[in-house]
Amino acid sequence: MLSYYCPECKFPLFEAENKVFCPNCEREVKIEKKEEKIVEKEVKEELKISEKVSSLDNKLESAISKVCDLILSAKSAEEVKALSESLDRLVGILEKVKKH
């Protein structure tokens, strides 16, 4: 006995010779539940990835705003230059992350 039920009569399905059939309807039943589960898993994993990306996004954005603050409070032109370079890099990374 399988853990699936006939879509027509809700009778528990049986498997024999690689075929799934409903003893009540006396016919073969095509189940696609296994594939559905895989798709569900893939969707969940995609969501996880996008969650990670968005938190990376947030981190980069807060890093960028920190660098901006540092530029504002920089005391020398060299400091401003160095900070602008890191700002440039951070913005570049953020753009790459957002494109994904």
CB of 38 to Zn ion, least distance (A): 25
List residues near Zn ion by CB under 5 A. Answer: 6, 8-9, 11, 22, 24-25
Closest CA to 68 of 91, 87, 88: 87
SS3 21: strand
Find the shortest distance in angstroms from Cβ 2 to Zn ion: 13
Closer residue to Zn ion in complex, CB, 6/90: 6
Q: Which residues pair with 5 in a beta bridge?
A: 12
Cβ proximity to Zn ion: between 15 and 40 the closer is 15
Positive or negative, the CA dihedral 7, 4, 39, 35 is negative
Least Å distance, CB 37 to Zn ion, is: 21
